[in-house]
Amino acid sequence: MAFPPDGAGLTAVVVDDHPAVRAGVAHWLSSADPPIRVVASGEDVRVAWLGEGADADVVVLDLHLGGPTPALGDLRRLAAAGRRVVVYSMRADDATALQCLELGALCYLTKAEGEDHLVEAVRAAGHDRPHTPPSLAGALAGDRSDQRPALSAREVEVLVEWFQSESKDFVAHRLGIAPTTVNSHLERIRVKYAQIGRDAPTKAALVARAIQDGLVAAHDL
């Protein structure tokens, strides 16, 4: 999926089973500067697959859509299709937040977090940039895995530079290496995480892993 124009033209689809929440999110996004246009909204995830919703840059997804079971399968399918998903949920437990990142969400926010965090999360997701709101920072800080991959110093350097950059080309320029070399390092890092059972298929998931393993602090991003 191509990036939308930087700072303008960003679109979103909102999936939530509460009309008041959908209206509130739409108002926050449309009132942002520059505005984020909500092209579709609804109580069923199908709205993200049909019509204008299918082409939206970002999906804002509630985890509970009229039932007791979290919509983790819907999240997995959206992420597998290359959709940029921001989970916006009443659930505030760390395990759910980390599970959503592992499934491919680009950010996890609780509904206790307000307008500024949601707007920034959607804007960051639209450009594949990480955003770490307070609830997610707490979840990551509390999860210190004893099983860490053996990353080389160069791999860590590339990883941190990528977190702080908007493109792999910029990382290559900063480090004086070829873009293909940046890609190779990142793929090796993902393979190393997968080999120990801690998959990191997206940039947001790699951010989560790096914070968990103490490679970078949330406030450095």
81 and 185 fall within a common domain:
no
Based on its alpha-carbon atoms, the radius of gyration of the chain, rounded to whole angstroms, reads 17
Rounded Cα distance between 132 and 180, Å, is: 28
For the chain, how many structural domains are there in total?
2
Task: Sort strands 37-42 and 11-15 into parallel, antiparallel or unpaired.
Answer: parallel
pLDDT reported for residue 8: 59
Asked which of 107, 141, 175 is the last residue of a domain, the reply is 141
In a domain, 19, yes or no: yes
In a domain, 178, yes or no: yes
Range of the domain at 114: 11-141
| 1-6 own/partner pairs: CB under 8 Å, 24+ apart | 1/57, 1/82, 1/83, 1/84, 3/126, 3/127, 3/128, 4/57, 4/126, 4/127, 6/127
pLDDT reported for residue 99: 81
Q: Which of 209, 94, 97, 75 is nearest to 155 (CA)?
A: 209
128 and 167 fall within a common domain:
no
In a domain, 2, yes or no: no
pLDDT along the chain (221 residues), means of 10: 61 96 96 96 96 97 84 90 92 80 86 91 87 71 66 87 87 90 90 86 85 76 66
29 and 134 fall within a common domain:
yes
Q: What is the pLDDT of residues 82-116, one digit of tens each?
A: 899 999 998 877 778 878 887 888 889 999 888 99
pLDDT reported for residue 149: 84
Chain centroid to CA 13: 15
**Residue 156, CA atoms < 13 Å, CB-side half-sphere:** 12
In a domain, 128, yes or no: yes
72 and 177 fall within a common domain:
no
In a domain, 146, yes or no: no
Rounded Cα distance between 97 and 206, Å, is: 14
pLDDT reported for residue 220: 66
Rounded Cα distance between 204 and 210, Å, is: 10
Q: Please say whether the dihedral angle defined by the alpha carbons of residues 157, 187, 98 and 136, taken in this order, is positive or negative.
A: positive
Q: What is the pTM of this model?
A: 0.69
Asked which of 118, 141, 164 is the last residue of a domain, the reply is 141
In a domain, 5, yes or no: no
193 and 118 fall within a common domain:
no
Give the CATH number, domain containing residue 98.
3.40.50.2300
Q: Tokens at residue 128, please?
A: 């594949």
pLDDT reported for residue 196: 86
Give the CATH number, domain containing residue 174.
1.10.10
Q: Under 8 Å CB-to-CB from 112, ≥6 apart: which residues?
A: 92, 135
Do residues 167 and 134 touch, judged by C-beta distance below 8 A? no
